[in-house]
Amino acid sequence: MGRILAIDYGRKRVGVAVTDPLQIIATKIGTIRAHDIFDFLNDYFNKETVECVVVGYPTTLRNEASESIRYVNPFLKQFQKKYPDIPLELVDERFTSSIAHQTMREAGLKKKDRQNKELVDAVSATLILQTYMEQKRNLRL
């Protein structure tokens, strides 16, 4: 069983999270600059077995593609071209940033830390991964 890697893709930054090899716990890795994401992925895929990559897909409340989709879709196409053997799953990321802020507030982080966009992106990637893992578990039930 390999890890599941989650990506919260943004124009400038990419939040990254991963499961443990048994796919029980989601942990944030951190934030990578968008133009460095494929270098990071190459290194990571060479070191770890990854069963699947989950990407947050931005939609509106009307379930339509949001404006930031113009950055995500080219990434998805390039990913599939570079890594055709790695399954790619999409997860609705509609509320992840606001949930990330709420989670950080509840964890007692100071306002200055909650305004750290890199931390918000990494927490968002973790939430995307947790959402995917819960959906996967619910399908098994």
| Residue 6: pLDDT over 80 | yes
Q: pLDDT tens for residues 10-44?
A: 889 999 999 999 999 999 999 999 999 999 999 99
Give the model's confidence band at 1: pLDDT under 50 very low, under 70 low, under 90 confident, else very high.
confident
> What is the H or E stretch that residue 101 is in?
helix 96-106
Query: Do 30 and 66 touch, CB atoms closer than 8 A?
Result: no
Query: Do 88 and 5 touch, CB atoms closer than 8 A?
Result: no
Q: pLDDT tens for residues 60-76?
A: 556 666 667 788 899 99
Structural domains of the chain sorted by starting position, each given as residue range(s) with its CATH number in brackets: 3-140 (3.30.420.140)
Structure tokens at 35: 């133009």
- Give the contacts of 47 (CB within 8 A, at least 6 positions apart): none
Least confident of 64-78, 99-113, 114-128: 99-113
Cα 104 from Cα 99, distance rounded (Å) = 8
